[in-house]
Amino acid sequence: MPALVLLGAQWGDEGKGKATDLLGGSVDYVVRYQGGNNAGHTVVVGDQKYALHLLPSGILSPECTPVIGNGVVVNPEVLLSELSGLEERSIDTSKLLLSGNAHLITSYHETVDKVAERFLGKRKIGTTGRGIGPTYADKINRVGIRVQDLFDESILRQKVEAALEHRNQILAKLYNRRAIAVGQVVEELLGYAQRIEGYVCDTTLVLNDAIDEGKVVLFEGGQGTLLDVDHGTYPFVTSSNPTAGGACTGAGVGPTKIDRVIGILKAYTTRVGAGPFPTELLDEDGEALRRIGGEFGVTTGRDRRCGWFDAVIARYATRVNGLTDFFLTKLDVLTGWDRIPVCVAYEVDGKRVEEMPYNQSDFHHAVPVYEYLPGWAEDITGAKTFEDLPKNAQAYVKALEEMSGAPISAIGVGPGRDETIQIRSFL
């Protein structure tokens, strides 16, 4: 039985929640391995819509154990609020497991994030302001606060003092903000300890034992490949590794235990926040994609920037993640176009480039080279098999598969849980 990684193959918002939820009934564990509540998954179950930000999508599947791994940064207030919201809708959250090694987002991380972004002005990154970056920075600087620190007040106080010694200097001298009191932060964090303690365990032990016992474990990435801090469009990236390698470090599972890596690929392209975007549409087509596709951030509410499908990015995602499969989402959104442009290469300084430029300046100035595929007008939301799709829709999927370098094993034809065509099993 496999251990699978499921991740975004573009800039995030590709529909990972739908894909994870589709597999949730067949897997034993679903694991978030990086990011924090800057990510967002929308899952539609019947006539119910669930917006998840920190929790793994598998929490909606009764037989599945959801896990928040050590690579995630956790805002305890958000975690408890999200759990309460699901419990009010009669969702059982008691099986959640939380790594004691995960780092905590505190109020001072959020403060630093917001004031730093304002300070950058025109050079701002486009962060969500939720304290993600400063928390990861403290982790790397070895002044971070971990979940397990909540259960030893002496250690917690020492660590908060160490972190604020540096942070308060920056707040007061650089940003002209009031220093944050150590006691206030410690008291706030201790208030979460009792409510969180029941979820905390050694998740790396649990997950490795589960894989050794033949259980199916699904590792779920937040954000997307092009937002990876190492492999994305730096500096317009997140502060962690949503690529496949991040699953190993962010969950404590060795690479030899991963069997398949599934990339979620939207039938067009979107991104949120600042940064280069070669196929971005600033016209009626872009607005139509945004309106029909409901392209508004689950976490931020911000309009997503929309553009045509970019095969260069898809090939790059296949390469850096070692993708074995694609899940193509939102094919239904393209219904109604007479012809659909697909970016097959870039033009950089007059030269055709078919692979992702390693130089950020080249990527920033890349001009998309399009091929045009015939569109379709038929409603595809009721399609149950690949053969049910209109011929032009079938041809579009096949063309994207050939350009992207990995087989498309499932297709989303609508927002509902059951509006998916499964071509090949992921398990």
Reported as a single tens digit per residue, the pLDDT across 254-294 is 999 999 999 999 999 999 888 999 999 999 999 999 999 99
- Closest C-alpha among 69, 223, 73, 221 to residue 133: 73
Residue 34: strand, helix, or coil: coil
- Closest C-alpha among 320, 341, 340, 317 to residue 264: 317
Instruction: Note the pLDDT tens digit of each residue in 335-391.
Output: 999 999 999 999 999 999 999 999 999 999 999 999 999 999 999 999 999 999 999
Give pLDDT, residue 18. 73
| % of the chain residues with pLDDT over 70 | 94
d(CA 76, CA 191): 10
pLDDT band at 19, cuts 50/70/90?
A: confident
pLDDT band at 26, cuts 50/70/90?
A: confident
Q: What is the DSSP secondary-structure string of 109-176?
A: HHHHHHHHHHHHGGG-----SSSHHHHHHHHHTT---BGGGGG-HHHHHHHHHHHHHHHHHHHHHTS-
Considering 355-364, 391-400, 407-416, the range whose residues carry the highest mean pLDDT is: 391-400
CA 24 from centroid of its chain's CA atoms: 17
Q: Which of 13, 21, 113, 325 is catalytic?
A: 13
- Return the CA Rg of the chain: 22
Give pLDDT, residue 119. 63
Inter-residue contact 1 to 216 (CB < 8 Å): yes
With vertex at residue 270, the alpha carbon angle to CA 264 and CA 274, rounded to the nearest 5 degrees, is 125
The Cα diameter of the chain in Å comes to 67
For residues 172 and 132, the model is more confident at 132
CA 250 from centroid of its chain's CA atoms: 14
User: Positive or negative CA dihedral for 121, 9, 396, 43?
Assistant: negative
d(CA 367, CA 411): 28
Question: Which of 21-30, 93-102, 150-159 has the lowest average pLDDT?
Answer: 21-30
Give pLDDT, residue 32. 95
Residue 260's CB is within 10 A of a number of other CB atoms, namely 17
Strands (E), 146-297: 200-201, 217-220, 260-266, 269-271
Residue 177 has pLDDT above 90, yes or no: no
Contacts 24+ apart (CB under 8 A), 162-167: 163/108, 163/138, 164/108, 166/141, 167/108, 167/112
Inter-residue contact 35 to 68 (CB < 8 Å): no
Instruction: Note the pLDDT tens digit of each residue in 112-123.
Output: 888 877 766 666
Question: Which of 171-185, 269-283, 323-337 has the lowest average pLDDT?
Answer: 171-185
Respond yes or no: is residue 13 known to be catalytic.
Answer: yes
Give pLDDT, residue 113. 83
Give pLDDT, residue 172. 82
Whats the size of the chain, residue-wise? Answer: 427
The mean of the pLDDT values for the chain is: 92
d(CA 5, CA 14): 15
Residue 189: strand, helix, or coil: helix
Return all residues near 109 (Cβ < 8 A) that are at least 6 apart: 131, 132, 134, 135, 138
Respond yes or no: is residue 418 known to be catalytic.
Answer: no
Return all residues near 120 (Cβ < 8 A) that are at least 6 apart: none
pLDDT band at 166, cuts 50/70/90?
A: confident
Return the DSSP state at 419. Answer: -
Q: Output the pTM of the full model.
A: 0.91
Q: Which of 21, 28, 41, 362 is catalytic?
A: 41
Mean pLDDT (whole number) for 56-73? 91
